[in-house]
């Protein structure tokens, strides 16, 4: 069975990611679309990918810390 993978924000762990088609990236001559976190505004060319299982494990670890 192939698990579904999704991108998430490495900063705030939000799954609310969208393509960043802002003027900045176009003016910078970027060929690739940047991705942007809609929650904290973090943007990068690539966001890490995870399965739902890996993601929940990561969240648990972070919850333990706080």
Q: Name beta bridge partners: 18.
A: 36
The β-bridge relationship of strands 43-44 and 5-7 is: unpaired
CB nearer Zn ion, residue 26 or residue 48: 48
Residue list 1-60, contact with Zn ion (CB under 5 A): 9, 11-12, 14, 37, 39-40, 42
Give the neighbor-by-neighbor strand order of the sheet with 17-20: 17-20, 34-37, 43-44
CB nearer Zn ion, residue 1 or residue 36: 36
Paired tokens of 16: 């609310």
Nearest approach in angstroms of CB 16 to Zn ion is 8
Give the residues lining the site for Zn ion (CB under 5 A).
Answer: 9, 11-12, 14, 37, 39-40, 42
């Amino acid at each position: 069975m192939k698990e579904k993978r999704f991108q998430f924000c490495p900063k705030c762990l939000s799954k609310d990611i969208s393509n960043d088609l802002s003027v900045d990236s176009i003016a910078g001559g970027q060929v690739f679309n940047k991705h942007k976190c809609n929650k904290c505004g973090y943007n990068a060319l690539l966001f890490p990918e995870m399965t739902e299982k890996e993601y929940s494990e990561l969240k648990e670890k972070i919850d333990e810390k706080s």
